Amino acid sequence: MKNLILIRHGQSKWNLEKRFTGWADIDLTDQGISEAHNAGKLIKDLNLEYEICFSSILKRAYNTLEIILKIIDQKNLKYERHYQLNERHYGALTGLNKNDMKKKYGEKKILEWRRSWNISPPSHNKELNKYIIYPNIQETNIPRSESLEDTYKRIVPFYEKNILPLLKKDKNIIVAAHGNSLRALMKNIFNISNNKIFKLEIPTGNPLLISFDHELKIIKYVYLDKNRAKELLCNV
């Protein structure tokens, strides 16, 4: 059996302020730090050995992972940061308050931008670059806005190239990422339809354990903090 742990970063400062975050590099709140500590304890209690872990290049994700790794305290455990695991790019909505945008555009339009499969928010302008970091990313790979489908096309090939081969070698892997990048990845793993994916909610700081057999068929999946679990819409 091999195991994949997916975790959305702990609560960020813009989560708390109800602002669209996307690729903006925003740190954790005190609650987010606490969620990461709790996640680390839950993962440690599994008594699994890990060889390598992954996060996005955004500090709310890699700080969450670093807290977890400090708690599980396994020697020679490596981790890598990759922009392919970044949150969905929210374009011109980046940094704006969600409630304010509902008043301006209407709840239906905001829901469409947030949760539809293939509709992107308006593209961002250069002023938003004060929030957004692009270290070591080719300009052709930098989006100006993304739908969930765009995010899927970014993260799933990365997963298939970099993570699946490790699972095939019986490695246990931790991935710390974001609500929409994990939503896109879980769409692939759990075979969730385009029509249902908008319903998938992913809690902050709650590790999702997915266990596979030797043929990489899912045999178990569970949120480690059952009190904060969400429905997984699994179709496998």
Catalytic residue numbers? Answer: 9, 87
Q: What is the CA radius of gyration of the chain?
A: 17
Residues 37, 43, 46, CA angle at the centre, nearest 5°? 150
Q: Are strands 218-223 and 173-177 parallel, antiparallel or unpaired?
A: unpaired
Contacts of residue 41, defined as CB under 8 A and 6 or more positions apart, other chains included, come to: 71
φ, ψ of residue 7 to 5 degrees: the values are -140, 125
Distance set, CA 191 to CA 91, 99, 104, 119, 204 (Å):
27, 32, 35, 20, 22
Q: Which residue has the tokens 């769409």?
A: 187
Is the distance from CB of 68 to CB of 176 less than 8 angstroms? yes
Q: Which residues face 12 on adjacent strands? A: 28
